[in-house]
Amino acid sequence: MSTLYDIINVPHPSLKAVANPIDSVTNDIRKQMDTMLATMYDAPGIGLAANQVDILNRVLVMDLAGTDEKKNPICMANPEIIYESEEMSVMEEGCLSIPHQAAEVERPAIVRVKYLDYNGNPAELEAEGLLSHCVQHEIDHLNGTLFIDYLSSLKRNMILKKVEKLKKQNLI
Ligand code: GNR
Ligand code: NI
């Protein structure tokens, strides 16, 4: 039986915290990545950052494969954006920590990310489309930023109120 983490929701303070770099990808970090992947698949979602499971280290996981496709897990420690295109892209985003809410977010269309992989080896990923939005969304989490922080305060507060209402109705 594999254990899962609990995903925290707004307004938990860990979602606003800046996560700490890891020294190296140890067996414990690999275990954390495995449990984060299981938690993400269970949710289900296409990405998960450590802050969302109340762990403040710079670890994220992603998998954009569809439910009927072969799994394609991507694990990153200490990710850094080393290139972003001037061209921008707008896409509807959601977040497991802001359940049942979505909004259009504008981000650099293409990014290149440097990170340590599951085996602790340096790696780079160039991403466009949904993967680009996802990896930027996850790195934002590690920096205490949520997609609603890019919206007007009016839209952000509407979303936060809707989440509170769903909680009160026990729908989350
Ligand atoms: O499952 C998720 N879908 C998604 C869609 C568009 C842009 C980003 C994402 S990430 C999100 C899961 C999540 O909250 N990751 O932090
Ligand atoms: Ni999110």
Question: How do residues 128-154 score in pLDDT, each as one tens digit?
Answer: 999 999 999 999 999 999 999 999 999
pTM: 0.98
pLDDT at 2: 77
Q: Phi, psi (5° rounding) for residue 53?
A: -115, 25
Would the pLDDT of 123 be above 80?
yes
Q: What is the pLDDT of residue 67?
A: 82
pLDDT digits (tens, 9 = 90+) for 45-89: 999 999 999 999 999 999 999 888 999 999 999 999 999 999 999
Closest CA to 73 of 103, 118, 27, 111: 118
According to the model, what pLDDT value does residue 53 have? 99
- The finding on whether 107 has its CB within 6 A of some atom of ligand 1 is no
Per residue in 88-111, pLDDT (tens digit) is: 999 999 999 999 999 999 999 999
H runs (alpha helix) in the chain: 27-42, 129-142, 153-168
Which of the two residues, 73 and 1, has the higher pLDDT score? 73
**Quick one: average pLDDT of 6-28?**
98
Q: Count Cβ neighbours within 10 Å for each residue of 109-132 and write b for 16 or more, e otherwise.
A: bbbbbebbbbeeeebebebeeebb
Mutate to test the pocket of ligand 1, among 134, 138, 141, 151 (most ligand atoms within 8 A of CB): 134
Residue 138 appears among annotated catalytic residues:
yes
CATH 3.90.45.10 fits 13-168, yes or no: yes
- Determine the Cα–Cα distance for residues 89 and 10; give it in Å rounded to an integer: 26
User: Quick check: bond before 44 cis, omega within 30?
Assistant: yes
Does the pLDDT value for residue 1 go beyond 80? no
Terminal Cα distance for the chain, rounded: 25
Q: Which of 14, 58, 93 to mutate to test the pocket of ligand 1 (most atoms within 8 A of CB)?
A: 93
